[in-house]
Amino acid sequence: MKPLHPLEQEPLPPIDRMDFITVRLPFVHAFGTSVQTWTNKEALLLRVASGSEVAWGECVADPDPYYAYETTQTARHIIKDFLLPVVEQSRTLGDLLVAFRHVRGHGMAKATVENALIVLMAQRHGVALHTLLGYPARKIMSGISIGLRETPDELLDAVHAAVQKRYHRVKMKIKKGKDVEWVARVRDRFADVRLMVDANGGYTLDDTDHLKKLDAFDLMMIEQPLSYSDIVQHATLQKQMRTPLCLDESILTVDDARAAIDLGACRILNIKQGRVGGLLESIRMAALAAERGIEVWSGGMDETGIGRALNIHLQTAPSFTLPGDTSETSNYFHEDIADPPVVLDENGFIAIPTGPGLGITLDPHRLERYTIAREHIR
């Protein structure tokens, strides 16, 4: 049995009303990966009202199944028809999480509900989310994820801008035809930048000799080079490469993480709280990784200010030792639905938003402007 987080014994707060609100925010730059290019962020939000408090959960699923099998539509279905009925029958957060296990998979849907309830609990206690989770405030390291660009010069410009901003690490997306030579160009111009690449599963073991060329560039890691559903072949590849491999898409549960660590499939884990089913599963996974000498960082799903703030609070957990995908709001959106926007200080760090819960407020006008659908659930 997994050890309980103290929060799991807390009674669930009473819920007066729940609504889905779907927003669509245009990106400043189209975000290209080896599998898909997105020009805007569509997010399913869960609004939970309890007395005078309103808390928000953001589902990290995309409207399409190109990063993960879950979509905003599958999440709506799973939340409404299978997860929310359980909320009403659960006494504590722990009861709820046990009942959620009856639903197989759908971590993004589960995380939406769990996270909204935990944020609501923090608000009702009048404390910041990180305090409720048990972690003191600390500044968070920043990291930027640069999508695929049309030309190497455009990529170099983007890396230059990130270095000027003092991001603690730069991630560039790669795919076949935009990999070794593009990395060489970046490394040639930015010898000291902490650099990593993310392939989003774009290669196979047939590409091993090609991928091994990346060992020449002193990368922090190569993220998810092989299939989204594989662990074993990553172990085969890791044995042949000096550069640490990091798994993202392949890791949906703590059991996946344990399998990957046992097999030597990676030396680093990207923990996206949405992908793994919420805050508490993320904390468990990070603790397992720390026990086994595996470093972790918090991945991003280009979230609005709601999910972005949640990821910042999660990274106060001491086992998040590497810079994550948390970057400035302006890197993604001309305007966001939440205030304050995430900004970097002069040394590239990000401050924890202060105040109860996430420490953010939603601007009603901007929320209205970007809302494309709403649904009263109960």
Closer to Mg ion by Cβ: residue 143 or 359: 143
Closer to Mg ion by Cβ: residue 13 or 225: 225
Closer to Mg ion by Cβ: residue 118 or 162: 162
List the beta bridge partners of residue 178.
175
Q: Are strands 338-339 and 361-362 parallel, antiparallel or unpaired?
A: antiparallel
Contact between 42 and Mg ion (CB under 5 A)?
no
Min CB(274)–Mg ion separation in Å: 13
Two tokens, residue 149: 């660009």
DSSP output for 212-251: HGGGGG--S-EE--S-TT-SHHHHHHHHH-SSPEEESTT-
Min CB(248)–Mg ion separation in Å: 4
Closer to Mg ion by Cβ: residue 248 or 295: 248
Contact between 248 and Mg ion (CB under 5 A)?
yes
Closer to Mg ion by Cβ: residue 198 or 328: 198
Active-site annotation holder among 41, 110, 171, 173: 173
**Residue 59 near residue 109 (C-beta atoms within 8 A):** yes
Stretch that binds Mg ion, among 50-58, 84-92, 247-255, 369-377 (CB under 5 A): 247-255
Q: Reply yes or no on whether 175 is catalytic.
A: no
Which residues 6+ apart lie within 8 Å of 199 measured at CB? 34, 173, 174, 175, 179, 222, 223, 224, 225
Contact between 325 and Mg ion (CB under 5 A)?
no
Closer to Mg ion by Cβ: residue 82 or 228: 228
Q: How far apart are CA 30 and CA 246, in angstroms?
A: 24
Min CB(259)–Mg ion separation in Å: 19
Closest chain position to Mg ion (CB): 248
Q: How far separated are the first and last CA of the chain, in Å rounded? A: 33
Of 217-236, binders to Mg ion (CB under 5 A) are 223
Q: Where are the alpha helices (DSSP H) in 169-322?
A: 180-189, 208-212, 232-240, 254-263, 279-291, 305-314
Number of residues this chain uses to bind Mg ion (CB under 5 A): 3
**Residue 292 near residue 264 (C-beta atoms within 8 A):** no
Min CB(15)–Mg ion separation in Å: 34
Mask: binding to Mg ion, 179-218, rule CB under 5 A, as x and -?
-------------------x--------------------
CB neighbours (10 Å) of residue 356?
A: 18
Stretch that binds Mg ion, among 54-62, 245-253, 311-319, 354-362 (CB under 5 A): 245-253
DSSP output for 100-169: HTTS-S-HHHHHHHHHHHHHHHHHHHT-BHHHHHT----PBP--EEEPP-SSHHHHHHHHHHHHHHT-S-
Q: Reply yes or no on whether 272 is catalytic.
A: yes
* Residue located via tokens 């197989």: 104
Q: How far apart are CA 376 and CA 81, in angstroms?
A: 14
Min CB(199)–Mg ion separation in Å: 8
Q: How far apart are CA 273 and CA 252, in angstroms?
A: 10
Q: How far apart are CA 253 and CA 182, in angstroms?
A: 33
Closer to Mg ion by Cβ: residue 114 or 302: 302
Min CB(270)–Mg ion separation in Å: 6
Stretch that binds Mg ion, among 41-49, 248-256, 272-280, 342-350 (CB under 5 A): 248-256
Min CB(95)–Mg ion separation in Å: 33
Residue ranges binding Mg ion (CB under 5 A): 198, 223, 248
Catalytically active residues, by annotation: 173, 272
